[in-house]
């Protein structure tokens, strides 16, 4: 199992993060305590600016956060969420995924 500090990147993170922002985040632990807070706030502000810039046009914002129609379903969302779950939460996700799969099978059998 991965360490709790291992942060997984989402698709949104991959789009809104830059190499420079990641480098700045890497520097924070090496700074003096008095400087860390201001520097962290500056980095978050830069991330907010990048997000605002990304969503400045409606068309790009919609295409960035969209999946192809066949992938845009509850089971795919649950499987993506599972990567961030504790083992107990993953069990719940698995139970929900199985339930949705059974419902899908039921629909296929009895609606055709």
CA atoms within 13 Å, Cβ hemisphere of 108: 6
Range of the domain at 56: 7-66
In a domain, 1, yes or no: no
pLDDT tens digits for range 11-52? 788 888 888 998 999 999 999 998 999 999 999 999 999 888
Q: What is the 3-state secondary structure (H, E, C) of 1-64?
A: CCCCCCCCCCHHHHHHCCHHHHHHHHHHHHCCHHHHHHHHHHHHHHHHHHHHHHCCCHHHHHHH
Q: Does 61 have pLDDT greater than 60? A: no
* Owner of token pair 């830069």: 46
* pLDDT tens profile 63-109: 655 656 555 578 888 888 888 889 999 999 999 999 888 888 888 88
| Cβ density class 13-34: b for 16+ within 10 Å, e for less | eeebeeeeeeebbeeeeeeeee
Can you give the pTM of this predicted structure?
A: 0.59
Q: Give the end of a domain, one of 29, 49, 66.
A: 66
Quote the number of domains for the chain. Answer: 2
Residues 102 and 61 in one domain: no
Q: Same domain for 34 and 44?
A: yes
Can you give the pLDDT at residue 15? 81
């Amino acid at each position: 199992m991965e360490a709790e500090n291992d942060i997984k990147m989402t698709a949104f993170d991959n789009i809104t993060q830059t190499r420079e922002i990641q480098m700045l985040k890497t520097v924070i632990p090496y700074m003096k305590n008095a400087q860390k807070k201001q520097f962290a706030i500056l980095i978050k502000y830069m991330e907010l600016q990048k997000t605002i810039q990304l969503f400045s046009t409606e068309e790009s914002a919609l295409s960035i956060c969209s999946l192809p129609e066949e992938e845009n379903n509850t089971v795919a969302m649950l499987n993506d969420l599972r990567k961030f779950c504790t083992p107990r939460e993953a069990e719940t996700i698995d139970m929900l995924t199985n339930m949705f799969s059974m419902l899908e099978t039921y629909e296929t059998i009895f609606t055709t």
